[in-house]
Each structure stands twice: as C-alpha cells, then as structure tokens.
Amino acid sequence: MIGIKRGCLAGGGRVDWDRVCKIIVHEIRNFSLGALSFERPDHLQQELVQVEEALRIKQEKNQARKSKRKKR
C-alpha cells in the first residue's frame, strides 16, 4: 500500500521495498511522521527503575567519599 501510494513501483507493477524502506527511514530521521516512540511502556518503566538505582548508587558513593574526607 505504501509503495503504491509513494510511487515506488518496480518493473511489472511490483513494489520496490528497498525504496519504500529508504523513504520511511528518511521520514523518521527528519521527524516528518511526527512524534514516534519505538519503546513499549513496560520497557520505559524498566529503564526508569534502572536509572533511579544507578543514581542512588552514585549518591551513596559520593556520600561515602565525602565522609572519608571529613574524617581526615
């Protein structure tokens, strides 16, 4: 359907999927299709949990480093 509407036809009226793919990738890169997200909501939630954990660990390390400095 996309190939026909975009005029990506090869010989014999077949769809040229290589051209169709190039057009889609080009439009995604140029934001022509609007705001798109390829992540699923459950993946976003997992990523948020991982980021929060990493930040917590970093804060703990910083606090431990600062407490060692104060003891000197």
Residue-wise pLDDT tens for the chain (72 aa)? 888 898 899 999 899 999 999 999 999 899 888 888 788 888 888 999 999 999 999 999 999 998 888 766
User: 3, 17 in Cβ contact below 8 A?
Assistant: yes
CA atoms of 52 and 54, how far apart (whole Å): 5
Question: What is the C-alpha to C-alpha distance for residues 6 and 15, in angstroms, rounded to an integer?
Answer: 10
Are 19 and 8 contacting, i.e. CB atoms less than 8 angstroms apart? yes
Contacts of 32 (CB under 8 A, 6+ apart): 26
The residue extents of the domains of the chain are 1-36, 38-72
The pLDDT score that the predictor gives to residue 72 is 62
